[in-house]
Amino acid sequence: SQGEDILFAALEQNMMAAVLIDEQDRVMFYNRAAEKLWGYRRDDVLGQSVSILIPHDLKAAHPGFIRHHREGGDSRVEGMSRELQLERKDGERIWTRFALSRVVNAGKVCYLALARDAT
Ligand code: HEM
């Protein structure tokens, strides 16, 4: 529908990097600003685990953070705006500001991360 088209365009062309993960933590949406911020192309990440986008020192712990939240644990990032260090594809580490939202649709729990360079 027209309404969905404009919402898609609004996310795709957003100045914020946008990453949406499905109920199995796989990347189902990854916009142009995310390609710029992380340095990964959408072909590298769509359908893959969100792990690819997590800094190497957090890769082991991060799936547990998500699981904890899915199982009803309290929010550390979700619903807040926080600065986190992002590791780009080329290894460069940059400070970014994250806004993470839990998104429920058709009974499925997804998460949308919006991020931008904080420097
Ligand atoms: C939790 C870091 C990307 C989903 C966390 C926590 C950290 C973190 C440190 C735990 C917070 C704490 O216990 O203090 C990062 C970093 C990222 C990143 C450095 C990339 C540079 C993402 C993305 C998603 C995501 C792209 C999904 C779209 C979650 C979820 C939680 C979480 C669902 C649990 C909710 C919460 O703790 O409030 N992340 N994250 N993260 N992250 Fe990430």
Q: pLDDT tens-digit profile of 27-77?
A: 999 999 999 999 999 999 999 999 999 999 999 999 999 999 999 988 877
User: At residue 106, does pLDDT exceed 80?
Assistant: yes
Contacts of 61 (CB under 8 A, 6+ apart): none
User: At residue 4, does pLDDT exceed 90?
Assistant: no
Task: State residue 112 phi and psi, 5-degree precision.
Answer: -115, 120
Give the residue, out of 65, 74, 95, with the most ligand 1 atoms within 8 A of its beta carbon, to mutate for a pocket test: 65
User: At residue 90, does pLDDT exceed 80?
Assistant: yes
User: At residue 119, does pLDDT exceed 90?
Assistant: no
Give the residue, out of 77, 88, 98, with the most ligand 1 atoms within 8 A of its beta carbon, to mutate for a pocket test: 77
User: At residue 82, does pLDDT exceed 90?
Assistant: no
* pLDDT average, residue stretch 80-88: 91
Which residue has the least CA distance to atom 17 on ligand 1? Answer: 54
Ligand 1 centre to CA of 41 (Å) is: 20
Pairing mode of beta strands 27-30, 81-87? unpaired
Band the pLDDT of 98: cuts 50, 70, 90: very high
82 touches 97 (CB < 8 A) = yes
ipTM: 0.96
- CATH class of this structure's domain 2-117: alpha beta
Residue 88 exposed, middle or buried by CB count within 10 Å (0-12, 13-18, 19+) = middle
Per-residue pLDDT, 105: 93
Which residues on neighbouring strands pair with residue 110, listed in sequence order? 103
Per-residue pLDDT, 29: 98
